[in-house]
A = this chain, B = another copy of it.
Amino acid sequence: MRKKHAPDIVVGRLPLYLRMLNQLAAEGRSTTNSQELGRRLGISAAQIRKDLSYFGGFGKYGSGYDVIYLRDQLRRILHLQRSWPVVLVGAGDLGHALANYHGFANNGFDIVGIFDNDDKKIGTIIGRHEVQDVALLEKSIKETGVQIAILAVPASSAQDVADKLVDAGVRGILCYAPVILQVPPEVKVQYIDPVARLQHMVFYVGEDS
C-alpha cells in the first residue's frame, strides 16, 4: 500500500487538508484545486499535490479536486469512517473543558469514560459522564477495548497513568501534560503543548521586536 510510505510529517498535514475541505464543503463549494488549498492554508500548491500523491490521484489534470470526493478519501485514509471511543483521564479544569468540547464527538471521537484519582471529583458528573475512580481504568479499558486515551493529568503522574493505559491495551495517547512519555514503539503519542507553540512563535516575534 502506497500510504505506508508517506512520511509522518505528510500524515500530520492530512487533518489540515481535511479541515479545509470540510470548511469548503460548508461554504457550499463543489470543486477546489491545490492553488486555492495552498493559499488558504499557507502551504505551497506543489507541497499539497506531492503530499496527496502518496495516497493516490485525486484530481483530473487541470480541473482540480472534487471537494466531497477528496474529503471522503481523506477520511478513509485517516480511518475516520468509523467512530473512535476515547477515555479521558483527568477531571480538573482542563478535563472539564475537554469533556465539554463538542469538536471531539463531531469528528468521530467519542469520550466514553472519564477517570480521576481525586475523591472530591469521583462521582461528580461532567457532561454525560460520571467521573470514575482511576483505579478502575485498566479494567474498564480491557472490557471495552478502547484504544485511544486523552491524558489531562499533572506532569507528575502522567508517566504512571501512561504505563497503565499501555498495559491495558491503549494504542494512542493524546498527552496534555508537559512531559515526554516513554512508551513502546507501537504506541503513538501526540502532544498538546501550548507553551512550546508560544515559544515557537516568539522565536519570530522576538526577532523583529
Contact = CB atoms under 8 A, between A and B. Distances in A.
A135 interface: no
A27 interface: no
A190 interface: yes
A82 B206 CA distance: 10
A198 B84 contact: yes
Interface string A165-200: 000000110100011101000101011111111111
Interface in A1-17: 9, 11-12, 14-16
Contacts of A209: 79, 147, 171
A207 B82 CA distance: 13
A104 B137 CA distance: 30
B202 A78 contact: yes
A41 interface: yes
B192 A192 contact: yes
Contacts of A104: 194-195, 198
Nearest to A186: B208
B180 A19 contact: yes
A94 B77 CA distance: 30
Given A103-B178, A198-B174, A203 B96 contact: no
A153 B98 CA distance: 14
Q: Pick the most buried of A11, A79, A84, A200: most chain B CB atoms within 10 A of its CB.
A: A200
A201 interface: yes
A156 B203 CA distance: 29
A204 B190 contact: no
A93 interface: yes
A178 B77 CA distance: 21
A20 interface: yes
5 contacts: A40-B180, A78-B200, A86-B198, A172-B202, A188-B204
